[in-house]
Amino acid sequence: MIFELAVFHPDSIAIAQACHVSRIELCDNYAVGGITPSLDNFKLARATFNGPIMVMIRPVAGGFVYDDAIIHQMQKEIKLFDDLGADGFVFGCLTNNFEVNASQLAMLVKAANKKPVTFHRAIDEVVNYENGIQDLINCGVTSVLTTGKMKSALDGKDVINKMIIKYGQQLNFIAGGGVRSNNVEELLRNSHIAEIHSAAITHGVDYIADKNEVMGIIDKLKF
């Protein structure tokens, strides 16, 4: 079982390392759903965390429809973090009609230089979810972070499970969205879900992962 911790604050990096989290998704600005992290935070993560680091590439908040200038900026950011030792990248891009923007996505996947790519929860905004999944596969995406187009991963458990059964040999499915220690066991029970994602933030406005919550999730993965 893989537990990916979404990291929005430098203090969460040490927590991820201490708790032996499988992988981190490094971002900034939890309040807007995550944007590209600072170089300083990445360098700290690379020096502190021994596991894989997936870097979110999202220069601006406010949606996932991007013009050519933003896509070019994203390509530059991918190259920058690739050179610094990122293990993979997390991004997503949609059309105005809420479909996967396959042409832009193909360019970003190419920029990732054969490193793993996760298409983030922008997939949950597409009109035709299954068509969107097929677009990701066709563009060479490695994984998708999803609630199954529902309010939470637990609500979308059946949809995610159905997609894993149908497409799991071609795409990794990461269940994320409202995943907590008090529901992760139910999420995983009688399912094919093998990867989960959580920020494990339980209080405050500093957006630091709660170490007890991280350990609580990890303990429940052993049920």
Q: DSSP readout, 12-79? A: HHHHHHHTT-SEEEE-B-GGGT-BPPPHHHHHHHHHH--S-EEEE--SS-S-S---HHHHHHHHHHHH
Tell me, what's the pLDDT at 223? 53
Compute and round to an integer the Cα radius of gyration of the chain: 16
Tell me, what's the pLDDT at 3? 98
Residue type, 11: D
Contacts of 205 (CB under 8 A, 6+ apart): none
Quote the tokens at residue 49: 């965390």
Global pTM reads 0.97
pLDDT tens by residue, the chain, 223 residues: 999 999 999 999 999 999 999 999 999 999 999 999 999 999 999 999 999 999 999 999 999 999 999 999 999 999 999 999 999 999 999 999 999 999 999 999 999 999 999 999 999 999 999 999 999 999 999 999 999 999 999 999 999 999 999 999 999 999 999 999 999 999 999 999 999 999 999 987 789 999 999 999 999 997 5
Q: Residue 145 — φ and ψ, nearest 5°?
A: -95, 125
Helix 39-48 vs helix 68-84: crossing angle, to nearest 10: 30
Quote the tokens at residue 60: 């601006």
Tell me, what's the pLDDT at 33? 92
